[in-house]
Amino acid sequence: MVKKRWTASCPICLLVVFFASAALAAETVRIAYPSAAVVFLPLWAAADAGFFKKQNLSVELVSIRSSPVAMSALLSGEVDVVVGGANPSIALQLQGYKDIAICAGLINRFLFSIYSQPGIDQLSQLKGKRLGVTRFGGSNDFAGRYYLRQRGLDPTKDLTMIQIGSQDDILRALLAKNLDAAVLGYPAVYVAKKSGLRELAVAGRRRTSSSRPKPVSDVKSSADSTARGVIIG
């Protein structure tokens, strides 16, 4: 039975993917991540706190602009492990790359928001506009397209989808008004909000009652403040 809920109908959104033979044989394990986003904080924390060393692992963290590009690097042997969106790895599995193994899921929801220029106040106003994403086929692109379809917009007909590159590139293009709107992750959303851009939607928000119990709201506020403090200082 398919549940009509955004977070339940999506695949695991952040996965650890690797070539089984290559990753086990490597002296130094090269781990790729697609952007300087808060969801990858566990990787940097594990490196800084020495958790990898405690497992007798020599790890090199490699920044590669998006999940599809990182998966290409995995196939070519340039990296051993990719921590990124689920959809590129699932697509490769369906194409016959059976040596790719999905070994863990870090989160099960998308952490993206759609931000626009100040003159755009609702999603329906995105018709005919330019929407920026990282790379076609990546989790950022998938999240934006899926959310828009759920709200009655056809990304292929109603908007012009533009792949920019990295989250930083998207943010710069939006601030320079080279885009009308964009799908942004954390911490880019904080910069966008501070710069006066408008948040049209939170793509991964669960559809729950608006009367959220106070303890839940307090926990969420604390988590938001912690993430903002870690990234911005």
Say if pTM beats, i.e. exceeds, 0.85: no
The encoded tokens of residue 230 equal: 């870690």
Cis peptide leading into residue 155 (ω within 30°): no
Give the C-alpha distances (Å, rounded to integers) separating 152 from 9, 59, 123, 124, 127.
Answer: 17, 44, 9, 9, 11
Domains of the chain in sequence order:
14-107 (3.40.190.10), 112-202 (3.40.190.10)
Q: What are phi and psi of 79, to 5 degrees?
A: -130, 165
Q: What is the pLDDT of residues 127-185, one digit of tens each?
A: 999 999 988 888 888 889 999 999 999 999 999 999 998 888 999 999 999 999 999 98
The residues, any chain, with a CB within 8 Å of residue 141's CB and separated by 6 or more, are 133, 134, 135, 161, 163, 183
The encoded tokens of residue 192 equal: 């966008």
